[in-house]
Structure 1
Amino acid sequence: MKGKCRECLDSVLLALQFYTTLPIKKELSMDEARLKKALYVVPFIGIGIGLILAAIIVLNEHVLHLPATVIAMLVVTIPLIITGGLHLDGFMDASDAFFSYRDQQKRLEIMADPRTGSFAVLSVIFLLAWRYVFILETIKLASDITFVFIVSVYYFARFSMCYVFIFGKLAKQDGLAAFFKKGLERKDIFVFLIGILLFFVFVAYFNIHAVSGTAILLLIALGFAVVSKGFIEKQFGGISGDTLGATLEGGETILWFTLWLLHSFAMGLQ
């Protein structure tokens, strides 16, 4: 029992060590069991990020009263600081490779190249600019239940990435994606689904009116994951660390877009 608890704690620390910039200075065993459980933790890192951002928005509304433009910029920036830009780097590399319009093998070589191309720069500018717009407009229309949706955005975006990771085939048998996929099976998706079910229980407890909007965000995230998996396998021959990062960053932007649409056109977000 003690060994299992130690393994679970190591997995949490391993996830924080790899997916965030938190100073976890500890040598950790990276066996298959710990790597699998570390992936289980990833969506909950999203919950933590979402809670921080929601708290900032609430604090600003009641105490700080800073311009919405400043808060929107903080919401864009803080997740990048927490993750060290890990996933955004993957998005840039994948963009460089995709817009090269080369064959699959050459695209994999481009993603492995540490140099940054013009397509990567242009892609990340458009991605973050549009995300900023969606965040800004959502903040202007925010209601009490908006804060639940913000947490959902960062939770479900990471669920999308994990879905692609579990069900997608590897583009190559080396690299970080192959290393972290050790021991991962399709049935592991049920662990994530149980987590989502518990999340909905907490959402319903907080505000029953937020359940429908949260469900819409989950459906969009799942649909995006399915489409992303097919797109990645067609364009790159399979998943890699970079394409997984691109999935997460694209998922966050799509979900912010959905959240803006819900506030702009859907009824009942009061």
Structure 2
Amino acid sequence: MNAFWQAVGFLTRFPVPKRAQTLEGWNGSPKYYPLVGLLLGLAVWLAGSLFAWLFGHASLPLVAVFIVAFWIYATGALHLDGWMDLADGLGSQRGRERALEIMKDSRVGAMGVVAAIVLILLKVAAVQQLAAAGGLASLAAVPAMARAALLAAIRFFPYIQQNGLGSGLRGGVTPAVLLVNGLLALAASFGIAGWQGVIAFAAVLLAGWLFGLYLVRRLGGFTGDVYGALIEGAETLALLVLLVLMDGRLL
């Protein structure tokens, strides 16, 4: 079970047993990422339902802000940090080596701040409109979609930091692990959000693949920051696709 608790402790702020607070099982932890994403999504949905009950339907903008704030807190802003670092590196318009150096810098630049603001605004607006359309429960599937896309990225795209946290993860993502977790995320997407969820999941996988191809060409592969950025971007895309579908524009 250490691998599972490693996944929980790394991807969320959820409490884990003290005996699991080591690196034992770390390389095998990715196989639990989508499951942890599903647990996170359920927590976000339950928190959102509580906020909606407290503030009422007339205060959906406030409810959406609280939901996204809880979402960020529950992940320790880990993925948001990667999103900002990647934005700083790519936004610098520098060569590969310099872009990677910028991404490693603990300081956040203007591009990172702007990227974070835009992403948070998109999430808040999408959550608000989903809640207004009666689709608040669909939030439960979104984190699992994003972390399934992360598994695919770990499996198919190179990791370029030899001593980074993600350097040993690829070996734990076998074809069987990828298949089982893909089916888990697909089942969660359909079970929670119906065909809209399936389409959103497919969009996330396609976008993640294109994103990976671009990053390999631009940076040579993935880093821990890129993994975090992938999760943030995938979650935001899933929310936007669900919103469009539930609004009836494509179906």
TM-score by length of 2: 0.89
- What corresponds to 2:46 in structure 1? 55
1:159 counterpart (145, 148, 162) = 148
Pair 250,39 (structure 1): closer, same or farther in 2 beyond 3 Å: same
- Contact 1:153 1:252 (C-alpha < 8 Å) held by counterparts: yes
Unaligned runs of 5+ in 1: 1-8
Q: In 2, are the aligned partners of 1:161 and 1:244 still within 8 Å (CA)?
A: yes
Residue among 23, 30, 33 paired with 1:30: 23
Q: In 1, distance between residues paired with 2:120 and 2:31? A: 27
Residue 235 (structure 2) aligns with: 252
Offset of residue 211 of structure 1:
2.8
The match for 2:62 is: 70
- What is the aligned partner in structure 2 of residue 191 from structure 1? 180
Matched letter for residue 168 of structure 1: F
**Pair 122,61 (structure 1): closer, same or farther in 2 beyond 3 Å:** closer
| In 2, Cα distance between equivalents of 1:18 and 1:51 | 18
Deviation at 1:61, TM superposition (A): 5.2
Structure-1 residue corresponding to 2:90: 98
| 1:212-246 Cα shifts (integer Å, max 9, x gaps) | 11211111111111111112112211001000100
For residue 88 of structure 1, give the secondary structure of its aligned residue in structure 2.
Answer: helix
Change (3 A) 1:95 1:13: same
Correspondence for 1:213: 196
Alpha-carbon distance, 1:247 to partner? 0.4
- Within 5 A, what are the aligned runs for 1:130-149? 130-142=122-134, 146-149=135-138
The whole-number CA distance in structure 1 between the counterparts of 2:227 and 2:70 is 20
Q: Given the superposition, is the C-alpha separation of residues 79 and 233 from structure 1 closer, same or farther in structure 2, using an over 3 Å criterion?
A: same
Alpha-carbon offset, residue 187 of structure 1: 5.0
Who wins on radius of gyration, i.e. which is larger? 1
User: Is it true that 1:235 corresponds to 2:218 in the alignment?
Assistant: yes
Deviation at 1:63, TM superposition (A): 6.4
Matched residue count: 249
Q: Does 1:87 align with 2:79?
A: yes
Amino acid at match of 1:131: K
1:160–1:224 contact (8 Å) kept in structure 2: no
Judged with a 3 Å threshold, the aligned counterparts in structure 2 of structure 1 residues 90 and 37 are, in CA distance, closer, same or farther, namely same
Identity across matched positions, percent? 24
Tell me, in whole angstroms, the C-alpha distance in 2 between the residues paired with 1:86 and 1:182: 23
Cα displacement (A) at 1:14: 1.0
Contact 1:76 1:131 in 2 (8 A): yes
Runs of 5+ unmatched residues, structure 2 = none
Within the candidate set 39, 57, 60, 2:30 is matched to: 39
SS of corresponding position for 1:26: helix
1:123 is aligned to: 115
> What is the SS of the residue equivalent to 1:71?
helix
Do the aligned partners of residues 259 and 239 (structure 1) sit closer, same or farther apart at CA in structure 2, a change above 3 Å counting?
Answer: same
Structural RMSD (CA): 2.3
In 2: Cα distance, 1:112 partner to 1:164 partner:
20
